[in-house]
Structure 1
Amino acid sequence: MLSESEPPAAAANLPSATPPPPSSDEDFFSSVSVASTSSTSSPSTPIPSPPQPHPEVPISWPEDGTLTLAWVTNLMLAFDWSSKNLAPTELPSVLPVAVFDRLILTGSKILHKEPNCVHIDSELGLGKDSRVIVVGDVHGQLHDVLFLLRDAGFPSDDRFFVFNGDYVDRGAWGLETFLTLLAWKVFMPNRVFLLRGNHESKYCTSVYGFEKEVLAKYADSGKHVYRKCLGCFEGLPLASIIGDNVYTAHGGIFRSIAVTPAKRAKGKKNRKIVSNPDVTALSLGSMEELLKARRSVLDPPWEGTNLIPGDVLWSDPSMKPGLSPNKERGIGLLWGPDCTEDFLKKLNLKLIIRSHEGPDAREKREGMEGMDQGYTIDHEVQSGKLITVFSAPDYPQFQATKDRYRNKGAYIILEPPNFDIPVYRSFEAVMPRPKVNPYYDFEDCIDSDEELDLASMAT
């Protein structure tokens, strides 16, 4: 078994019930240096990548509607190849709108049927030979995602993936990134789990680049493609429970929405009693409340009765005890180590894995560790740990070179028997990135999502 002081085995050594992709598809990843789990180790020297094979394009939808490993790996190869050889406006020649429609519809149907919190357990095939890979924010950094999938080993019968959201915005390939992961979801719906991040929303995508990216790439069909993506985002589950011991979500924990019955008006027989939510008293929510929350909203509300989705997607941990409104973000909660302990006890868990904060956010947060290695252990309490994982290295993509954080990305490996002991895998960014213009004004946009214009967020 791997330990925290040992790097995980190479992807080729990980057990897999699904055969590897054809050899012709094996060289489509650019060179990258990978750091071990030790923060003191130096990254290896990048090795020049061999010439890429040409993908089969344009991509067509399978006649029987069933995706195969060859189809998914060709999609990955095509996106990688087109990002380096074609202008963004030529993406429809690689992925026609009709094929996009089939993929997004098929994926949306699967996602919308899943509960708010997906349980990854023995009923889904989680067992003694399984591994679960937990991935944080990737923000449209396609080439780093392709590397991560190869490094961790592709999804297979004994290799599960949980993605903690924020697939789009800031990076230049949000659409390709999300569709790559959606294709894996369609191909292996019980092995790949896509959770929602705060950037899978109408507000964030209109500010941080994804909307403009889609409109630029698909021109006259851009509004259609963007609208279909938003509809798919609404279906993304909010959280997961892995092996009965681990809770994962993009932002974190959530409040209880206390209700008190309204008084029946005098003289009005058979009048329905309406419950009034008490949103002033903050206490931790239950799994039952999480499962009942309404997630199908383009922008999770910051006020009213449906606050749990906003909490799950926007909340942040703090070193200060207690549960309080997240005033810096204007939505969600701040919670201290005591709340982590209470949440773990209440749900009988041992580990919380969340994402949501990159190096830009962490440098502004007093008492919280940075994100140089792609992960931090935020709280260690009697019942377990709270970990933040961030999977977008050298972030953000378009920041001036001298201002970029040069952080590593990371993912977490969970192993049997209990899947509650994290193994950390840090990695450097794939370089050089293809040259492309940003789709948002990165000099004016606040990188850590603070000071949101809440008035413009539709509920």
Structure 2
Amino acid sequence: MDFDVDSSATATTTTPSTTTTSSTVTSLSSPSPSPPPKNQSLPSDQPPQIPIQWPPDGTLTLDWVISLMTTFDWASRNLPPSEFSSVLPVPDFDRLILCGSKILHKEPNCVRIEDVGENSTVVVVGDVHGQLHDVLFLLKDAGYPSENRVFVFNGDYVDRGAWGLETFLLLLAWKILLPNRVFLLRGNHESKYCTSVYGFEKEVMTKYGDQGKHVYRKCLGCFEGLPLATVISGCVYTAHGGLFRSVHTGPSKRRKGKKRNRKIIVNSEENSDGKLSLGSFEELSKARRSVLDPPWEGLNLIPGDVLWSDPSTKPGLSPNKERGIGLLWGPDCTDKFLKKFNLKLIIRSHEGPDARDKRPGLGGMDQGYTIDHVVESGKLITLFSAPDYPQFQATEERYNNKGAYIVLKPPNFATPEFHSFEAVTPRPKANPYYDFEEVIDSDEELDLASMVSAS
């Protein structure tokens, strides 16, 4: 199978005062190093070294990670998916996933990124959904992760796109190489239910055959370790979905012969005051993030909110009835959250062009980002990094949206610099791993009964 390997993409940089179309980064304050060349695939007659082998001493190098990128790119264009196990054999996959899982499981629910100095930048990335070639372009366009270039990924690495496995493993390798400079957060698609509906499970089974169940199970175990949020330089909160409710805990009555348990008191519509209230970072830190699927109850409500909630133009905090999970929050809640925790900016993801088509009053995702709330204390931004999404679509009409990433710079890291980019073209030919004509494109109207039975 021989695919056309030429590719192209352009990036648009937007700042409060500058808009340019180029492949370079425009600085708000001081010049940045020139980024590496754009995504250039290897010619089909020059295959990389296959199979990929885990380093004998277990230590990754920059050259190894870049070689992994190159190999995944080449294989996606020249080999059928069923031969992927010959590219990354199961023993080497096991070492990669185990090493990454150990790092992720040790991180707190909300990672505080404080060690960013005057020469550092922070790149924030939204949903990428298995669009490997666009991720490769993004990494080169923004500049690879380094001691002075921190990356925060807001989740949804898998599903819908044809290369979710390669995308997640590649970002996991960067995490292993630079654990304090690359941060991988969990998205709502890093779950058993979503991956069984939107293609990732079938993708893994196709690529690893008889060993697919083992590989899929290991991936789910790694997903459990993904943190839920970050706070960057004390002033920027990032999470996949967004804000979350307060869930109070209190001691229950001691039973004879039994240890004291904690009683969960959910601050929800069923409470006497009939109101929801915003949660705290202390509550977020205590949430049980290892639960991959519903039932979302008790302390599990907070991860459900962080992963599934959406902003609204209407004031207040209410259940997200459109999705059936999480919350809707208005500009007043954004302002209150920013003030309460002395923050300036919220960057969340979770909504692509398909979802925004169904959300009147909020901006579309044609440029890869929207500024949803502008309040006294700061801003709320939705960031989406998968251009020309979804890869497979149930209608002939495509969104042709751009993807985007955000660059945050010193001194306060609170002024977002938007970089929009088009999809790498042509994409390698691929077949979908889910029935996109039957499964709805957005995550709304989910079959919650199936979610519970699948968990």
Q: TM-score, structure 2 length as denominator?
A: 0.89
Q: 3-state DSSP class of the match of 1:410? A: strand
Task: Give 1:377-392 correspondences, 5 Å limit.
Answer: 377-392=371-386
Q: 1 CA distance for matches of 2:176 and 2:420?
A: 28
Distance 2:132 2:297 in 1: 34
Q: Which amino acid aligns with 1:108?
A: S
Q: Distance in 1 between matches of 2:293 and 2:63?
A: 36
Deviation, 1:402, is 2.9
Counterpart code for 1:241: V
1:290 pairs, out of 284, 293, 298, with 284
Aligned to 1:82: 75
For residue 300 of structure 2, give the secondary structure of its aligned residue in structure 1: coil
Residue 133 of structure 1, aligned match among 115, 118, 123: 123
- Superposed CA deviations along residues 355-379 of structure 1, whole A, max 9, x for unmatched, are 0000000010121110000000000
Indicate how the Cα distance of structure 1 residues 78 and 337 shifts in structure 2: closer, same or farther if over 3 A, else same: same
Deviation per CA, 1:241-273, whole angstroms, max 9, x where unpaired?
0010000000001000034555679xx799847
Match of 1:374 in 2: 368
Q: How far is the alpha carbon of 1:317 from its aligned partner?
A: 0.1
Separation in structure 1 between the aligned mates of residue 261 and residue 218 of structure 2, nearest angstrom: 38
* Superposition deviation, residue 299 in structure 1: 1.4
Distance (Å, rounded) in 1 between the aligned partners of 2:205 and 2:258: 53
Query: What is aligned with 2:84?
Result: 91
1:78 maps to amino acid: T
- Over 3 Å counting, the alpha-carbon distance change for 1:418 and 1:52 in structure 2 is farther
Structure 2 gap segments, 5+ residues each: 1-12, 269-274
- Deviation (angstroms), 1:448: 1.3
Shift of 1:60: 0.6
Aligned CA distance change for structure 1 residues 376 and 227 (closer, same or farther; 3 Å): same
Relative to structure 1, the CA distance from residue 119 to residue 9 in structure 2 (aligned partners, 3 Å threshold; closer, same or farther) is farther
Could you say which residue in structure 1 is the equivalent of 2:53?
60
In 1, are the aligned partners of 2:111 and 2:230 still within 8 Å (CA)? Answer: yes
Task: Classify 1:427/1:53 alpha carbon distance in 2 versus 1 (closer, same or farther; 3 Å).
Answer: farther
- Select 1:29's aligned residue among 33, 37, 40: 40
Change (3 A) 1:274 1:292: closer
Shift of residue 14, structure 1, vs aligned partner: 3.5
Is 2:302 the partner of 1:308?
Answer: yes
Secondary structure in structure 1 of the residue aligned to 2:144? coil
Match of 1:143 among 112, 121, 133: 133
Q: Which residue of structure 2 lines up, in the alignment, with residue 105 of structure 1?
A: 98
Q: CA deviation at 1:450?
A: 1.1
C-alpha distance in 1 between matches for 2:14 and 2:396 = 36
Q: Is the 8 A contact 2:344 2:377 kept in 1?
A: yes
> Which of residues 214, 217, 229 in structure 2 aligns to 1:224?
214
Q: Indicate whether 1:455 and 2:449 are aligned.
A: yes
Worse-superposed segment, 299-308 or 108-117:
299-308
1:214 corresponds to which residue? 204
1: CA distance, partners of 2:39 / 2:87? 16
**Hey, what does 1:277 align to over in structure 2?**
265
What corresponds to 1:43 in structure 2?
none
Aligned-pair CA distance for 1:6:
4.0
Cα 1:401–1:146 change in 2 (3 A) is farther
The corresponding residue for 2:336 is 342
Tell me, in whole angstroms, the C-alpha distance in 1 between the residues paired with 2:190 and 2:66. Answer: 24
Q: What CA deviation, in whole Å up to 9, does each residue of 1:299-344 have, x standing for no partner?
A: 1543334200000000000000000000111110000000000010
Which amino acid in 2 is paired with 1:334?
L
1:117 equivalent in alignment to 2:110: yes
Are 2:21 and 1:10 aligned? no
Identity %: 73
CA distance in 2, matches of 1:164, 1:346: 23
The one-letter amino acid paired with 2:338 is L
CA shift at 1:99, angstroms?
A: 0.7
**What residue is the counterpart of 2:176 in the other structure?**
186
Tell me the alpha carbon deviations over residues 52-83 of structure 1, each in whole angstroms, 9 at most, x when there is no partner: 85322111111110000110011000110001
**Matching residue's letter, 1:113:** K
Per mean C-alpha deviation after superposition, the further-off stretch among 444-453 and 73-82 is: 444-453
Residues 195 and 238 of structure 1 are in contact (CA less than 8 Å); yes or no, is this contact kept in structure 2? yes
Matched-pair contact (CA < 8 Å) for 2:238–2:346: yes
Q: What letter corresponds to residue 379 of structure 1 in structure 2?
A: H
Residue 3 of structure 1: how far off its partner (Å)? 3.5
1:325–1:332 CA contact under 8 A, matched in 2 = yes
Query: Which residue does the alignment assign to 2:8?
Result: none
Q: What is the deviation of 1:401?
A: 6.8
Q: Which amino acid aligns with 1:100?
A: F
The AA in structure 2 aligned to 1:452 is L
1:216-247 Cα distance to aligned partner (Å, 9 max, x none): 00000100000000000000000000010000
- Structure 2 counterpart SS, 1:402: coil
CA RMSD after TM alignment: 2.3
Tell me, yes or no, if the aligned pair for 1:300 and 1:307 is still in contact at 8 Å. Answer: no
Aligned length: 429
5+ long unaligned stretches in structure 1: 31-48
2:351 is the alignment partner of 1:333:
no
Which amino acid is 2:266 matched to? D
SS state at 2:396 partner? helix
Give me the whole-angstrom Cα distance separating, in 2, the residues matched to 1:185 and 1:310: 24
